[in-house]
């Protein structure tokens, strides 16, 4: 769990882990030099439960850098992700791990609810059931808090040092080593949308996507532009329209 100035929401995220019906977990929280009291809140939780381990970056470096610290320090077989402002349902880990083990999957995500800041849901996101690299490169439908991958079968795989799109890059790296990303068709977490979210900045999004195509997938500029214009954008527009319709209902 990366955390940066999440004092208003970090308690919800941590409590959702503490409430898991599956109890054999460790929670590694990496604070990225917060300045709003997040660190003090995390210390109080760590004192109450020894399964919570805290780390702090030497300087603010972004969520990808923070997550890589967590990946490196993790001791368990399965790696799951949760952001400091999102929320898991109590059966999240148990349901998803049972699904993975029953089907022998090494890379999995789940359905989830898009939610307002107060965690009131307004839309259910249902990623495509089976996503190959060819499909996934045209856009990221995967909610990071729904991902689990099996390090015993595929090893530890890390995110690139990007400020934006680093989670998508990780999914692309993993899916090139397995047959596909498989989706557990159950709503198991809430993705909190903040009004100040950087993903609302369209130009930032364009630059991030082009950066993934150019520097992660090593596409030439013309190829990256074509994939963006004729693959990524049409799919993204449809998803945005669907979310907007549901959010206003």
Q: Which segment of 36-45, 147-156, 235-244 scores lowest on mean pLDDT?
A: 235-244
Q: What count of other Cβ atoms lies within 10 Å of the Cβ of residue 227?
A: 18
Can you give the pLDDT at residue 240? Answer: 72
Over range 132-141, report the average pLDDT: 95
Residue 38 CA from chain centroid, whole number: 20
Is the model's pLDDT at 241 over the cut of 80? no
Domains of the chain: 2-248 (3.90.550.10)
Can you give the pLDDT at residue 199? Answer: 47
Can you give the pLDDT at residue 247? Answer: 56
Can you give the pLDDT at residue 238? Answer: 79
Over range 153-174, report the average pLDDT: 95
Residues 170-175: contacts with CB under 8 Å, at least 24 apart: 171/136, 171/140, 171/142, 171/147, 172/133, 172/136, 172/137, 172/212, 172/216, 172/217, 174/107, 174/149, 175/107, 175/131, 175/132, 175/133, 175/136
Over range 57-71, report the average pLDDT: 94
Q: Residues 175-231: pLDDT tens digits?
A: 999 999 999 999 999 999 876 544 457 788 899 999 999 999 999 999 999 999 999
Is the model's pLDDT at 236 over the cut of 90? no
Beta strands in 91-217 (DSSP E): 107-115, 121-125, 130-131, 148-150, 181-192
Can you give the pLDDT at residue 175? Answer: 97
Question: With bands split at pLDDT 50, 70 and 90, how would you rate the model's confidence at 82?
Answer: very high
Is the model's pLDDT at 235 over the cut of 90? no
Question: With bands split at pLDDT 50, 70 and 90, how would you rate the model's confidence at 129?
Answer: very high
What average pLDDT is seen over the chain?
93
Calpha distance 117→224 (Å, rounded): 34
Q: Residues 39-62: pLDDT tens digits?
A: 999 999 999 999 999 999 999 999
Tokens, residue 219: 């596409």
């Amino acid at each position: 769990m990366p955390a940066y100035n999440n004092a208003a929401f970090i308690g919800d995220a941590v409590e959702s882990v503490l409430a898991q019906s599956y109890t054999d977990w460790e929670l590694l929280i990496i604070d990225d030099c917060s300045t709003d009291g997040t660190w003090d809140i995390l210390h109080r939780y760590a004192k109450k439960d020894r399964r919570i381990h805290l780390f702090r970056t030497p300087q603010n470096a972004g969520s990808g850098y923070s997550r890589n610290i967590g990946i490196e320090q993790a001791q368990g077989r399965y790696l799951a992700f949760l952001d400091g402002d999102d929320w898991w349902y109590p059966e999240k880990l148990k349901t998803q791990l049972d699904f993975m083990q029953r089907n022998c999957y090494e890379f999995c995500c789940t359905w989830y609810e898009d939610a307002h800041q107060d965690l009131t849901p307004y839309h259910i996101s249902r990623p495509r059931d089976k996503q190959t690299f060819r499909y996934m490169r045209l856009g990221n439908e995967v909610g990071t808090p729904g991902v689990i991958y099996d390090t015993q079968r595929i090893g530890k795989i890390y995110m690139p040092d990007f400020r934006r799109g680093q989670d998508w890059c990780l999914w692309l790296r993993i899916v090139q080593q397995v047959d596909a990303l498989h989706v557990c068709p159950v709503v198991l977490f809430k993705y909190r949308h903040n009004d100040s979210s950087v993903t609302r900045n369209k130009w930032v999004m364009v630059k991030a996507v082009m950066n993934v195509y150019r520097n992660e997938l090593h596409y030439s500029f013309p190829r990256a532009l074509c994939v963006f214009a004729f693959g990524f954008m049409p799919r993204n527009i449809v998803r945005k329209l669907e979310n907007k319709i549901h959010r206003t209902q």
